[in-house]
Every structure is written in structure tokens, then in C-alpha cells.
Chains A and B, each alone.
Chain A
Amino acid sequence: MHLVFVFGTLKRGFPLHNLGLEGAKYLGVCRTVEAYPVVIAGPWFAPMMFDLRRSGVRVEGELYAVDDQQLARLDDLESVGTPGNFRRQLEVEMSSPRRVTHAFAFMKDPRLAVPIHSDFLSAYHDRRFIPPWKRSESVSTARR
């Protein structure tokens, strides 16, 4: 099993949750032990975390236990292995029960963050994200 920290569109109630975390075991809410920069960026208003530890703010999210197959599905969903898309380990602190553990998080190269739509986020609540299955529609709407 692997622990995965999600802070954005993979959280419960957000567009990629069912696609990425169906069948995963929810372990609770947690927060990164150290500060990381998370902003909303890119043409699809995606929340992005960057591997710049101690910059930004501590980030709230959710912790899940996933198996190899589920982790591979998440990698695919997050485009891990393509330029600028990474999976890294970080430390997260669960509040109940209180404990610190290592978990994977999905991060981006800062060069993908164009344009940037927000300041640093401690928690992601934005609803502007355009999921992959709506992108052609949004492009054609914009062209009208």
C-alpha cells in the first residue's frame, strides 16, 4: 500500500476524485508539515504544487491509502512521466489521530504555471477547474 496526499481536484467533492480515488481508503484530513507553494494556474485553472519546500504555506488536504494499481491510475491522471509532472514524497501531519507520516504528492514544474490565477493557497476550494473531458467544449465556447 502507498499513502497519497491530495490537496486539489482529487479531494472529495472535486472533479477528479471519483476517477482517481475510487476504491482508495480515505484516512482523514491532514496538512503538510512544511510549507509548499500551491497556486491555481494554467489554462484549466488547475491547482498546482511545486517542489519548493519551505516556500508558500502549509497545505491542507486528504490522505488516502492506495494499492499499486490505484497509484498507477493516479500517475496516469496526473501525467506523471511527462515533462513537468512529478510524484514526490513529503511529510504530512494528521490531526486525528495526531501523527506525522510520509506520503506521495503530485507536483508540477513551475514552468507549467502560466498564467497564475491565485496567491499561495493553504486550502483549495476553487471551482474554476476545467476537467479534461470539458476542455474541448471550453475551447470551442471561447472561440465563439
Chain B
Amino acid sequence: MPLDYSTTHQQHAPTSAAMNSVQITKADDEWNVTVVEDGKVSKFEFLVEAHALIFAAGQRARLDLPNQ
């Protein structure tokens, strides 16, 4: 995959489909996108803010969430 995010980490959280979410956070020199879908948490790390933002927007569209 040519996007610059690194390994995807997945874990399960006590959430439901109604609590799907996409969050962007900055950590040091990286931008992290956390996707919660049907209780499954996936984290994607990006080096470029633009890539994180557009990836997150795509995930929100996929999950039918409003863009922030």
C-alpha cells in the first residue's frame, strides 16, 4: 500500500456499531488516525498531516460519519 501509514494495530474495545468513530491525534512527528468500527480499534500512523486528514475523511465517509 503506497500510503505512508505504518503497521495497523488492532484491538477490541467495548463499543458498538453506533459508537463508530474516527479521530486524528498528533504525537511527536506523526499523525495518528484511530478508527473504531464495530468495537474494533485500528490505528494508522502517518508522517504527513495531509495524508492523515484525507485518510480519516475517507474512513468517516465509509462509516457514514459526519466530517469534523
Residues of A within 8 A of B (CB): 37, 39, 41, 50, 52, 55-56, 109-111, 113-116, 118-120
CB contacts (< 8 Å) of A111 on chain B: these are 58, 61-62
**Residues on B close to A: CB < 8 A?**
1-3, 48-51, 53-55, 57-58, 61-62, 67
Q: Which residues of B contact A37 (CB under 8 A)?
A: 50, 53-54
Number of A-B pairs whose CB atoms are under 8 Å? 46
Instruction: Evaluate whether A116 and B61 lie within 8 angstroms (CB atoms) in the complex, with A52-B53, A110-B55 already known.
Output: no
| Cα distance A37–B24 in the bound complex, in angstroms | 16
The reply to whether A50 and B54 contact each other, CB–CB distance below 8 Å, is yes
Beyond A110-B61, A115-B2, A118-B50, 18 additional pairs, beta carbon < 8 A = A50-B54, A50-B57, A52-B53, A52-B54, A52-B67, A55-B57, A56-B50, A56-B53, A109-B61, A110-B54, A110-B55, A113-B54, A115-B1, A116-B50, A116-B51, A119-B48, A119-B49, A120-B50
Name which of B48, B50, B55, B62 has the most chain A CB atoms within 10 A of its CB: B50
Cα A21 to Cα B67 in complex, Å, equals: 32
Q: How far is the CA of A109 from the CA of B66 in the complex (A)?
A: 13
Interface of chain B, main secondary structure: helix
With known contacts A114-B2, A114-B3, A39–B50 Cβ distance under 8 A: yes
Tell me the bound Cα distance from A105 to B48 in angstroms: 25
> Which residues of the other chain, B, contact A52 by a CB distance below 8 angstroms?
53-54, 57, 67
Residues of B within 8 A of A114 (CB): 1-3
